[in-house]
């Protein structure tokens, strides 16, 4: 297995706030994409843009690594998969290594003055799955997590982590999930099952279906996501006063 590069080598694209930076969103791209690529895609489909006066949106780029579903060819992926299916084991070694690397991105936001309860982590496709591992297993004190056209393997360790925290009465982030009914790569039923199992484990979840949407982002989805982000990361009093 190829070594995963250090977190310091992760490239990223940033949409800076127009005012005082008091909250952050970390948006993880899908397999084979880049932070700059998903940032451009978001701008293309969303009106208004997914930009905010007080929130910095960070789009990291996964390092190139051998990817088993592509017969070992190099691809910008957050972790390896044995196959693209909800009915197989997770590649935990690569997931956990990348969780540690992405932890450095979170620490950068903390050093910029943003506490974790003022952060949301999410992503598209594989990025959404990576975000669920990050938010539910490593950083459950974030404000929320979103997963677009994403799924977790049906025996994912995330379910156990959520159940253990819920049983202990520990806080868990709220999940926003969106999925197209026409998705032929990550089936809509996989997304529905992910939400159902997370809810059963004790997580607060919201699942939005988009009729006919394939494995892609859409304007209605980003509009709903934007509204949800603003309910979780409201401007603080200083932001509102413009000071």
Which listed residue (22, 94, 101, 125) is catalytic? 125
215 belongs to the catalytic site: yes
Strands 73-76 and 64-67: antiparallel
Structure tokens given for 13: 């694209």
- 125 part of the active site: yes
Helix locations, 76-187, DSSP H: 92-111, 126-133, 157-168
Active-site residue, from 183, 188, 218, 239: 183
- Sequence-distant (6+) residues with CB within 8 A of 108 are none
User: Closest by alpha carbon to 98, among 113, 82, 117, 76?
Assistant: 76
Relative to beta strand 12-15, strand 55-60 is antiparallel
Q: What is the DSSP letter of 208?
A: E
Tokens of residue 12, six digits: 């990223």
Q: Answer whether 39's CB lies under 8 Å from 7's CB.
A: no
Q: Which residues pair with 110 in a beta bridge?
A: none
| Catalytic residue IDs | 125, 183, 215
């Amino acid at each position: 297995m190829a070594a995963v590069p250090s977190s310091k080598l992760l490239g990223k694209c940033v949409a800076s706030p127009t005012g005082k930076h008091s909250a952050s969103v970390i948006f993880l791209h899908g397999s084979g994409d880049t932070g700059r690529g998903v940032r451009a895609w978001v701008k293309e489909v969303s009106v208004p843009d997914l930009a905010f006066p007080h929130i910095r949106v960070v789009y990291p780029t996964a390092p190139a690594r051998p990817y088993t579903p592509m017969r070992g060819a190099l691809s910008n992926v957050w972790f390896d998969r044995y196959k693209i299916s909800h009915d197989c084991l997770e590649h935990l070694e690569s997931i956990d290594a990348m969780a540690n690397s992405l932890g450095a991105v979170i620490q950068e936001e903390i050093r910029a003055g943003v506490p974790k309860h003022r952060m949301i982590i999410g992503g598209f496709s594989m990025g959404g799955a990576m975000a669920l591992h990050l938010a539910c297993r490593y950083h459950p004190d974030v404000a929320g997590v979103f997963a677009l056209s994403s799924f977790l393997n049906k025996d994912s360790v995330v379910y156990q982590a959520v159940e253990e925290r819920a049983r202990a009465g520990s806080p868990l982030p709220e999940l926003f999930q969106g999925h197209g009914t026409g998705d032929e790569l990550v089936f809509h039923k996989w997304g529905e099952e992910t939400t159902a199992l997370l809810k059963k484990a004790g997580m607060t979840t919201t699942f939005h279906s988009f009729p006919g949407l394939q494995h892609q982002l859409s304007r209605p989805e980003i509009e709903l996501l934007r509204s949800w982000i603003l309910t979780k990361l409201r401007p603080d009093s200083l932001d509102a006063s413009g000071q």
